[in-house]
Amino acid sequence: MLVTRSQLTHPDQEVRVEAVQGLVTLAGYGDDEAREMLREVVTHYRDFDVEIYTRALNRVEVFGDARLAEPLLVALGDTDYGGKLWSATACGRLGVRAAEPLLVALLEHPDLMVREGACYALGDLGASTAVGALARSLDDESEYVRAAASEALAELGDDDAVEALWSAFRARRYRRPHYLAQALARCGPDIHDRLVEATAHDDPEIRFWAATALGATGDERFEPVLVRLAADDHATTPTGAHVSTGAKKALKSSRRRRERRDSGQPAL
């Protein structure tokens, strides 16, 4: 190994960054010394600047293990040190379930990126106890946080999480809730049946996003509904979108998803 600890604390930022990047590369190739040094960065995070800490945690999967749980919890609760977004993300990736209360508290953090990261981490952890807090985040002032909360609730997928998503979808509190449509598409047959029913709703906005959600399932069973909307529903939503256009896009999305799935490519 060619990287030394002194390089990680070198006065020159360029040297520090090059050192941590070198360690990450070596760790990815299985270098045990590099992995141990990266674990030291996380464990003794106060000895290193925030950039070194966050760059290490960006690739926590190549060196992280259960030994990092405690230092990550400490960093997550450290109000005087930055890097909370990366600490939260690492807790999610490493399955640090003890972080759940701290992550829920971070849903109220003033930095929207921290709130967003906390949502994703709670989803990664399968934190069913956080459903209520994530449901409240569906009303966050930031669309990025609302989208992250939607994804986390879809990841959790229990009855309460699904109902929170459905309630937000029906309430139409925000314009262009594409993230809710994507989340509901992941929620299984019961919600899919509700989405089909919603394509006949009096409100064209509901019909538009129900069609979008059905297209995101990639399920050919919903093609007849989407074909009907594309041909017959020329209503306009309050944002100026045509339901028929939304249905046509949903059809394309559905077919594209099936093509990718059938060819073994990852989902969009």
Are 155 and 113 within one domain?
yes
Question: Would 182 be classed as within a structural domain?
Answer: no
Contact, 64 vs 93, CB < 8 A? yes
The two tokens of residue 37 are 């040094």
Query: 170 Cβ partners below 8 Å, 6+ apart?
Result: 206
What is residue 133's predicted lDDT score, i.e. its pLDDT?
Answer: 98
What is the extent of the structural domain holding 134?
65-177
CA dihedral (196, 192, 266, 65) in degrees, to 10, reads: 150
Same domain, 151 and 162: yes
Per-residue model confidence (pLDDT) at position 267: 65
For 239, the 3-state DSSP assignment is: coil
Q: Which pLDDT score is estimated for 22?
A: 96
User: Residue 246 is encoded by which pair of tokens?
Assistant: 């939304």
What is the full per-residue pLDDT of the chain (268 aa) written as tens digits? 578 889 999 999 999 999 999 999 999 999 999 999 999 999 999 999 999 999 999 999 999 999 999 999 999 999 888 899 999 999 999 999 999 999 999 999 999 999 999 999 999 999 999 999 999 999 999 999 999 999 999 999 999 999 999 999 999 888 778 999 999 999 999 999 999 999 999 999 999 999 999 999 999 999 999 999 999 999 999 989 999 999 999 999 999 999 988 888 776 6
| CATH code of the domain in which 209 resides | 1.25.10
Q: Compute the distance between CA of residue 223 and CA of residue 142 in angstroms, rounded to an integer.
A: 33
Task: Count structural domains, the chain.
Answer: 3
- Quick one: tokens of 252? 């394309």
d(CA 168, CA 177): 9
| Residue 3, pLDDT score | 86
Beta strands in 34-97 (DSSP E): none
Q: Measure the CA dihedral 25/30/33/39, to 10°.
A: 70
pLDDT computed for residue 268 by the predictor: 61
Residues facing 236 on adjacent strands:
242
Q: Which residues pair with 242 in a beta bridge?
A: 236
For residue 147, the one-letter residue type is: A
Are residue 164 and residue 253 in the same domain, yes or no?
no
